[in-house]
Amino acid sequence: MSLTEYRRKRKFDATREPEPGKPAPRGRRAIFVVQLHHASRRHYDFRLQVGDALKSWAVPKGPSYDPDVKRMAVEVEDHPLDYAGFEGEIPKGQYGGGHVAQFDTGVWAADGDAEAGLAKGHLRFELFGRKLKGRWHLVRSGKQAKQPQWLLFKDRDDYAGTLEADDLLADVPAPPAEDAKRAGTGKARKRKKTAIDVPTRRAHDWAAEARKLPGAKRGAVPSGAFEPQLAKLGDAAPAGETWLHELKWDGYRLLATVARGQVQLWSRNALEWTGKVPEITEAVSRLGLKSAALDGELIAGRGSREDFNLLQGTLSGERQGALALVLFDLLHVDGVDISAAPLLARKALLQRILGDAPPAHLAFSTHIEGNADTAIELASESGFEGIISKRSDRGYRPGRGDDWRKTKELASDEYAVVGYTPPKGSRSGFGALLLARPDAEHGWRYAGRVGSGFSDALLDELTPRIGRAGRSEPSVYVPPNDTDLRAAKWFAPRFVVEVFSRGTGGHGLLRQPSLKAVRPDKSVDDLHDSDRDGANDMAKRSERSASAAAPTQKKTAKRATKAASKAAAKVPAKKRTTRITDIERVPPTLSSPDKVLFPGDALTKRDVADYYAAAMPWLLPEIAGRPLSVIRCPGGIDGPCFFQKHHTAGITLVETVRLKDEAGASDYLVANDAAAVMELVQFNALEFHPWGAHADAPETADRIVFDLDPGDGVTWAEIVAAARQVRGLLQQLKLESFVRTTGGKGLHVVVPLDPGSDWDVVKPFAHAFAQGMTELDPLKYVATATKKFRKQKIFVDYLRNGRGATAIASFSLRARAGAPVSMPLRWEELGKLKSGDAWTLRNALARLKRLKTHPWGDFMALRQSLDGIVD
């Protein structure tokens, strides 16, 4: 059934149930949800996401963990994905009238193609919720009925038992009428369970076995993601008995750490994936280890090259493939650091820990010792891309080195996307992606274009990502004599793709390239790292064969980086916003939450984080998409604080934009979502100062800020009067303005501009306006920052209206005693206010809870400009 049937049965002006029409969220896995529905007949609604809808069944008695109990499941109309979050009352008289409460939710996987299984009448699947876990079956009944009937039952796995859905209702709210009835009789609701226990293996003294390994020592497990060891790409697999050879699994690198029995998963670039792949998290926890550090590859299916698309489709929600973590290394176990032990010994211990029958979703990466030719032949016959060869007698060494080598049977490599060609014929979106590889002399060198291997879904996904922007001039070095690039659009290296090819031709350009995959697990910087370490051997071979030979790889990494910066600086900054991509964006765990940041007010880092998390819906629209500076106070406001506007190592969720400045070109911070803001808070950021322009149009100011800064002897009443006077003068120019406290002594008067104006127009206008204020009342106003001229006067600060200048954001804290907050006001509120620091961390949230709309109304929709005001 389609969502048309769902819409037909409901009146959305009478029910709070979500109306279809919202696009399916991208980048999240397929979900399931089970809701307890007290309609005319109490039942459980069982829903599985297939495509852009929730396939739905009504299960009167709910799921049972007993494999011998088969529950009737009546197929009902599809529901929109938003229905997964619906709870509350459906009014009586409406379809399905009654109380709905969420019972469980999570992600799910299917054996094979889910739609094919449903069409066939037998769907085998696995659930990863808090209450519903393990393998299940849905089998269509042969009974003739108005609505299709199915049987839902449990598979005989490690979770099978006697529990019923009704035994897991401890945290599920009862309908209001039922609660009232119980309260009236004095009967309490029977206590039930809230989650299923995860079965773990019997405890074993793995530490004793680990201590026997050469080089083992007592040590703590890494406190977070550890740096992985990486392989170099070679022409041929290394020979000799000291090498072991594993399959080159086609997936995503995944690191696992266990501390005090708690599992965390990390991507290669140190983003936490614990919640993204719950089946892997649970599988590692079932090993029963107290502490551990493991290294492996996340795969779908067999992990061959043909399964990589299944992995990407599963992680993006388009498919429901079964995932597994293939483990190939063990660095730490139960308090013992074995990273210095020989690889062969580490793998032997890992294999014993996994056992003959590893927990579901875990596998051991087997190997062949010494015989590289046999390993490559087996890999090729089995559909794998190649092998990874490792020195069996060496310890684990983070980073890229000679101890690990990769050899590919089918040539593929990774490239940065630097532009696109327009579509032709019936194709939509783009024709081909333009590719580049790092180059020691030029920074980036054009490598060719790829136009095949794109599914319709991938075209739809990538088209908004590359946008319609771009410039006609190349943003990278293009070898001479390449043709048919006249209609191409170029931008700075933006994201990474992996491409199959038949080698390279003239000028090092790819022959017959075909897209293998988009690589969200890797950043553009990873390609430079790989190139500096000599991993991109294929690129070097191509350059050696080109008629114009490239410089040797003895060029230093410093020169390569400098050249890349020069190349990027030639591209208009509007086209150079760089997204730090991954499947999932999760804010980091708050470290040192009890650290006192405002000593005089006993406010901690946790208090700051809680404030920003609660104020996020108000703060984020003020700063998202804008170059951003922050004030960080690692030791609290009584210690050293510093202003930061450029990207630094360790920051992974905050995006960047490459902008020209006095140093040439730098990566400026851009916080586009809550995860990025909270990462900055984790780095002890207290204040947020955005530009008056967006990162994609940094030369165009879309707001003007007049900072009314009082000198000594100026009263608050005079500041209020000055703000009102500024407003009146702006109104004479047909410009609406808005007011906010600064969290200090003064006020800001803000003028939105749409369309905006160039900085060389805005700054002179702001200067002239401020100068006009001083001419209007020279005893009251001053337009210079020199302190000796500001006594008993108000400085009309226009300097916040130049390129690169910033102003405190509305709703931002200030790094000052009392933890004041910059707060936007309605003009009529101004007379009631006693000072510019009236709002603080302690009372600001209470105000935000009372606000129904922004105090400035829909100011972002206000259309006004300097046209006609400034010639």
CATH number of the structural domain spanning residue 753: 3.30.70.3300
Residue 810 within a domain: no
CB 385 within 8 A of CB 410: yes
In terms of Cα–Cα distance, which of 439, 490, 486, 431 is closest to 462? 431
Q: How many residues does the chain have?
A: 871
Is residue 102 classed as helix, strand or coil in its secondary structure?
A: strand
- What pLDDT is attached to residue 152? 97
Token couple for 806: 């910033």
Residue 113 within any structural domain of the chain: yes
Compute the distance between CA of residue 400 and CA of residue 405 in angstroms, rounded to an integer: 9
Is 22 an annotated catalytic residue? no
Query: 387 and 300, same structural domain?
Result: yes
The number of CA neighbours under 13 Å toward the Cβ of 72 is: 9
- Is the Cβ–Cβ distance between 748 and 706 less than 8 Å? yes
Q: Which amino acid is at 122?
A: H
Report which residue type is found at 48: L
| Cα 454 from Cα 251, distance rounded (Å) | 19
Beta-carbon contacts of 184 under 8 Å, excluding residues fewer than 6 positions away, are none
In whole angstroms, how far apart are CA 721 and each of 490, 494, 705, 749, 777? 51, 49, 17, 12, 13
- Beta carbons within 10 angstroms of residue 717's beta carbon: 9
- Residue 333 pairs with which residues in a beta bridge? 292, 336
H-helix or E-strand spanning residue 408: strand 399-408
Bridge partners of residue 109, in order along the sequence? 126
Closest CA to 708 of 686, 724, 692: 724
Q: Which of 507, 538, 572 is the endpoint of a domain?
A: 572
Q: In 252-359, which ranges are E strands? A: 252-259, 262-267, 292-300, 323-333, 336-337
Q: Please identify, among 392, 408, 424, the residue that sits at the C-terminal boundary of a domain.
A: 408
Q: Give the largest Cα separation in the chain, rounded.
A: 92
- Report the predicted TM-score, pTM, of the whole model to 2 decimal places: 0.55
Cα distance between residue 254 and residue 277, in whole Å: 10
628: phi then psi, degrees, rounded to nearest 5: -135, 140
Query: Can you tell me whether residue 32 is helix, strand or coil?
Result: strand
636 and 658 in a single domain? The answer is yes
Residue 536 C-alpha from the chain's centroid? 28
Task: Please say whether the beta carbons of 64 and 196 come within 8 A.
Answer: no
The tokens for 240 are 């000799």
Q: Supply the pLDDT for residue 663.
A: 59
Q: Quote the CA–CA distance of 87 and 659 in Å, as a whole number.
A: 47
Beta-strand relationship, 98-110 and 655-659: unpaired
Question: CB neighbours of 406 closer than 8 A, spacing ≥ 6?
Answer: 231, 232, 233, 234, 248, 386, 387, 388, 389
Sign of CA dihedral 580, 585, 591, 593: positive
**Where does 552-595 show beta strands of DSSP type E?**
577-578
- Domain identity same for 427 and 556: yes
Distances (CA, A) of 129 to 55, 103, 170, 197: 17, 10, 15, 11
- Residue pair 5/20 in contact (Cβ under 8 Å)? The answer is no
Within 13 Å of residue 59, how many CA atoms lie on the same side as its CB?
26
Query: 119 and 26, same structural domain?
Result: yes
Residue 739 placed within a domain = yes
Matching residue, tokens 């405190």: 808
- The CA distance from 329 to 107, in Å, is 28
The three-state DSSP-derived secondary structure of 693-761 is: CECCECCEEEEEEEEEEECCCCCHHHHHHHHHHHHHHHHHCCCCCEEEECCCCCEEEEEEEEEEEEHHH
Domain identity same for 109 and 132: yes
Q: Are residues 174 and 239 in the same domain?
A: no
What does the CA dihedral 227, 228, 233, 236 come to, rounded to 10 degrees? 140
Dihedral angle, C-alpha 64, 67, 69, 72, nearest 10 °: 70
The answer as to whether 854 is a domain residue is no
Among residues 345, 502, 485, which one has the least CA distance to residue 418? 485
Residues 6+ away with beta carbon under 8 Å from 143: 149
Closest CA to 336 of 459, 250, 184, 208: 208
Shared domain check, 392 and 462: no
- Residue 386, token pair as written in the block: 């190649």
**Residue 20 · residue 308 · CB < 8 Å:** no
**Residue 304: which CATH number?**
3.30.470.30
Q: Are residues 245 and 345 in the same domain?
A: yes
CB neighbour class for 256 (10 Å; exposed up to 12, middle 13-18, buried from 19): buried
Q: What is the number of other CB atoms lying within 10 angstroms of the CB of residue 428? A: 10
Contact 54, 131 (CB under 8 A): no
Same domain, 170 and 30: yes
783: tokens are 């337009």
On whether both 752 and 632 belong to a single domain, the answer is: no
Q: For residue 332, which of 215, 230, 253 has the smallest C-alpha distance?
A: 215
- What is d(CA 608, CA 370) in angstroms, rounded to the nearest whole number? 57
Tell me, yes or no, whether 309 and 351 share the same domain: yes
State the pLDDT at residue 712: 86
Is the separation of the CB atoms in 688 and 809 below 8 Å? yes
Q: Is residue 224 part of a domain?
A: no
CA distances from 361 to 283, 409, 702 (A): 6, 27, 51
User: Of 367, 392, 408, which residue sits at a domain end?
Assistant: 408
Identify the pLDDT of residue 523.
84
* pLDDT computed for residue 572 by the predictor: 33
Q: Where are the alpha helices (DSSP H) in 155-290?
A: 176-185, 206-211, 278-285
| Residue 591: inside a domain | no
Give a yes or no: residue 863 inside a domain. no
419 and 549 housed in the same domain: yes
- Which residues, including other chains, have CB under 8 Å from residue 264's CB and lie 6 or more apart? 224, 256, 257, 258, 272, 274, 281
Q: How many domains does the chain have?
A: 5
Q: Which residues of the chain have pLDDT under 50?
A: 1, 533-584
The CATH number of the domain holding residue 468 is 2.40.50.140
Dihedral-angle region of residue 296 (phi above 0 means left; psi in -120 to 50 means alpha; beta otherwise): beta
In a domain, 8, yes or no: yes
Nearest in space to 844 (alpha carbons), one of 745, 705, 749, 741: 741
The reported pLDDT for the residue numbered 189 is 56
Contact of 315 with 276, CB cutoff 8 Å = yes
User: Which residue range is the domain that position 556 belongs to?
Assistant: 412-572
Please tell me which residue in 154, 248, 489, 763 is annotated as part of the active site: 248
